[in-house]
Chains A and B, each alone.
Chain A
Amino acid sequence: MALRDDMLSWGRAHRALHEVRRPGFAEEAPAMLGGQAPVLAYGMGRSYGDSCLNPGGTLLDMRGLDRWIAFDQEAGLIEVEAGLTLADILEQLHRVAAPGRCWFLPVTPGTKFVTVGGAIANDVHGKNHHTAGCFGHHLISFRLLRSGGTVRRCSPTENADLFAATIGGLGLTGLILSATIQLKPVPSLWMEVEDIRYRDLHAFHALTAESADWDYTVAWVDCLAGGAELGRGIFTRARHAVTDRAPPPPRLAPRLSMPMDAPGFLLNGMTVGAFNALYWRRAPERPIRRIGPYEPVFYPLDAIRGWNRLYGVAGFYQYQCVVPHAASAEAVPALLRAVAEARDASFLAVLKTLGDVRSPGMLSFPMPGVTLALDLPNRGTRTHDLLNRLDAITAGAGGRIYPAKDGRVSPGDFQRGFPNWRDFARHVDPHFSSSFWRRVSAPAGHPTRGDVAPC
């Protein structure tokens, strides 16, 4: 069987060889779990690091299982195969939208180009985490294929332990075949949005506090600003608009694409600093309310197909951590200072307050607190050193990193961040594995950096 070198994660900083199998129908999947090497499901490849990679093993390309099984338009219940994307679901929600009766995804991450299986396996969260919790919170049930060939129906009441382990379980508990999801009723598919420029972290927290009646909040941070302006940025808040505009907003397809890798010199402290300063000043100081389509609110980067190639052939790392509220007053400025001092270009930095809606997932990332996410071009050792400094701050604050974004955290930092990881490990299917899992489940203190060489 030929090995493929073109199955990458979104950060493109890891390269590996995989055998790839692609079921066209769910009934073909059990036979594809055979063989000695471990298997792992692969969807749209939007995990940033190595949690979706399985070098030396098999990747099951799930994009052939992208069908609807049932759509109850009265109850807003959908049952779909695991390889269906959120983009595909939204397309149908557009089609059936009627004035006064619209359905929307209960939770959506920052891209709609993820599969339902991926959304479950990473228990994704969105800008409404403080009101709606994670994706797993809205799951009615799913069907899970274990390597022995048995299919388990999992729900909060049926195989409840496997249900909890699989939500946020990084695809390690078996192969998710299909899922039933409760959609959310919304007054329209239009969004009411406000962008507010703010000066520092105090202003960020003040805006968060006064935005209780907005379902969606997030802030873009200029992480090259330091000193008194540390944490300055643009706070965006949004909610589904009550409007009698009859037609749903137009569906926006990607308008631009990155056909090739950008040259490495394009992103440096100077260009990104200039971009960030201009971008920050462009936003109004006093909020302007507008009504618009949801894509620019939820999926600004989906407008550029293959935007990850902007970081050149060496790829990039995304760092996302959460720190609990009690420690955030110290830890968030410390994280931002470390990034600002490194002058390592990052123009995508996001700050958000996570709520206390508990996910059913055992290994789910969110906890009540503040989450910071930022992109760092891969500059080798220098970047790894900065990431290690960020890990130390996060760990010291009692926080943790987001596995979906990670490609290099140490076993010790992972295990401290997810203290119930051993309970979770009991539910891992022995025939499933990933580069991420082999790394973080090694004995703490182990020097391993995974079996995919970051280049």
Chain B
Amino acid sequence: MLKVAIFGATSAIAQAVARRFAGEGARLFLVARDAARLEVVAADLRARGAASVETATADLAETGGHAALVEHARLALDGLDAALIAHGTLGDQKAGEADAGAMLRELGVNFLSPASLLTHLGNLMEAQRHGSLAVIGSVAGDRGRASNYVYGSAKGGLRVFTQGLRHRLGRAGVAVTLVQPGFVDTPMTAAIPKGGPLWATPDRVAADIHRAMKTGPAILYTPWFWRYVMLIIRLLPDFVFKRLKL
């Protein structure tokens, strides 16, 4: 029976991943900011077969609470086999351009906060010499673009951070995976037409993440074709890229 902690557990992708673990009878520890929503999600996972579901409410932007939170997870689950870090904000790019304070807050939630959690979780798993860590990045982190480089740079920082952490923890048998989802059909994107093949359901993406948390690849593009889309975007010469509205 796997013991899994999920941070940012009320997001659409995190819920879909948690359902897959629940269906296997896993023990779950969920963290999110809104207690009422967290309880709704926990009840769902219990009905779907989770052996146990425990919850903690926390504002994950407050990194000072992370050590205690990770210890709470370890005690509640009596160990920890896997953790998914799924919180984040898709902030207002324009606000981040005009106001350095807003920009720093965005970097705080999307880079400093997951980096802090990864450090606590990584040390725990290194000591027990097993475990799997996955964190949700973004294809926005693969190349800075005018439309979202504040958010993108936080996710890009996470890319290098997880790369190095993976290098370090590999010796202890701990896997670290950066998840790079493409466009996902969630409540956040309801206003956008979903005709094209680029849109994936949270469940489709969750199936990939769930598998990756067991096999531990370095980077997971989901759905798979985003690896090639982003490869092309990264390889575009600057004089071409500058002309594109992205």
Answer yes or no: are A and B bound together in one complex: yes
Query: A interface vs B, CB < 8 Å?
Result: 1-2, 4-6, 19-28, 61, 64, 67-71, 78, 92, 95-96
Contacts of B67 in A (CB 8 A): none
Q: Main SS of chain A's interface residues?
A: mixed
A21, A67, A96: which has the most chain B beta carbons within 10 Å?
A: A67
Docked-complex contact B193 and A4, CB < 8 angstroms:
yes
Contact present for B40 and A25 (CB under 8 Å): yes
Contact, CB under 8 Å: A92 / B47? yes
State whether the Cβ of B190 lies closer than 8 Å to any Cβ in chain A.
yes
Please give the distance in Å from B196's CB to the nearest CB on chain A: 10
In the assembled complex, which residues on chain B have CB atoms less than 8 Å from the CB atom of A68? Answer: 43-44, 46-48
27 A-B residue pairs with Cβ-Cβ distance under 8 Å, sorted by A, are A2-B191, A2-B193, A4-B193, A21-B190, A21-B191, A22-B186, A24-B10, A24-B187, A25-B10, A25-B40, A26-B40, A27-B36, A27-B37, A61-B190, A64-B187, A67-B44, A68-B46, A68-B47, A69-B40, A69-B43, A69-B47, A70-B43, A70-B47, A71-B47, A78-B47, A92-B49, A95-B49
17 additional A-B pairs beyond A5-B193, A27-B36, A68-B48, beta carbons within 8 Å, are: A2-B191, A2-B193, A4-B192, A19-B191, A20-B190, A21-B190, A22-B190, A24-B12, A24-B187, A25-B40, A26-B40, A27-B37, A64-B12, A68-B44, A78-B47, A95-B48, A96-B49
The reply to whether A67 and B187 contact each other, CB–CB distance below 8 Å, is: no
Tell me which residues across on chain B come within 8 A of A24, comparing CB atoms: 10, 12, 186-187
Q: Is residue B164 within 8 Å, beta carbon to beta carbon, of the partner chain?
A: no
A2 contact set on B, CB distance < 8 A? 191-193
Q: Mark B184-223, 1 if CB is under 8 A from A, else 0.
A: 0011001111110000000000000000000000000000
Interfacial residues of chain B within 31-62, with CB under 8 A of chain A in the complex: 36-37, 40-41, 43-44, 46-49
A-side contacts of B193, CB under 8 Å: 2, 4-6
Number of A-B contacts (CB under 8 A): 59
Interface string of B1-24 (1 = CB under 8 A from A): 000000000101000000000010
A95 to B46, CA, bound (A): 13
> For residue A73, which residue of chain B has the nearest CB?
B47
Classify chain B's interface size.
20 to 34
Query: Shortest beta-carbon distance, B228 to chain A, in Å?
Result: 20
**Once the chains bind, are B187 and A23 in contact (CB under 8 Å)?**
yes
Partner of B48, one of A4, A19, A23, A92: A92
B37 near A25: Cβ-Cβ < 8 Å: yes
A174 smallest CB distance to B (angstroms):
20
Residues of A contacting B40 in the complex (Cβ-Cβ under 8 angstroms) = 25-26, 67, 69
Closest CB pairs A-B (n = 9): A68-B47, A22-B190, A24-B187, A67-B44, A71-B47, A22-B187, A6-B193, A4-B193, A64-B187
Q: Give chain B residues whose Cβ lies under 8 Å from the Cβ of A21.
A: 190-191
Given the interface pairs A21-B190, A70-B47, the reply to whether A6 lies near B37 with Cβ below 8 Å is: no
| Nearest-Cβ distance from residue A407 to partner chain B, whole angstroms | 21
A20 pairs with B187, CB closer than 8 A: no
Q: Which residues of B contact A64 (CB under 8 A)?
A: 12, 186-187
- Of chain A, the residue at the smallest CB distance from B45 is A68
Which residues on the A side are within 8 Å of B47 (C-beta)?
68-71, 78, 92
- A2 CA to B191 CA, complexed, in Å: 6
In the assembled complex, the Cα of A67 lies from the Cα of B194 at a distance in Å of: 23
CA–CA, A25 to B186, complex, Å? 12
Known: A23-B187, A95-B49. A67 touches B37 (CB 8 A): no
CA distance A92 to B25 in the complex (A): 12
Q: Which residues of B contact A92 (CB under 8 A)?
A: 47-49
Q: Across the two chains, which residue of chain B brings its CB closest to A71?
A: B47
Interface centre among B46, B48, B190 (most CB of A within 10 A): B190
Residue of B36, B44, B46 ringed by the most chain A CB atoms within 10 A: B44
Contacts of B41 in A (CB 8 A): 67
Which chain A residues lie closer than 8 Å to B46 at the CB level? Answer: 68
- Which residues of chain A are within 8 angstroms of B37 by Cβ–Cβ distance? 25, 27
Assembly CA distance A28 to B187 (angstroms) = 11
Q: How far is the CB of A388 from chain B (nearest CB, A)?
A: 33
A149 to B40, CA, bound (A): 20
Q: Provide the bound-state CA to CA distance between A68 and B191, in Å.
A: 26
**Cross-chain contact of B191 among A4, A27, A78 (Cβ < 8 A):** A4
Q: Nearest chain B CB to A80's CB is how many angstroms away? A: 8
A292: min CB distance to chain B, Å: 24
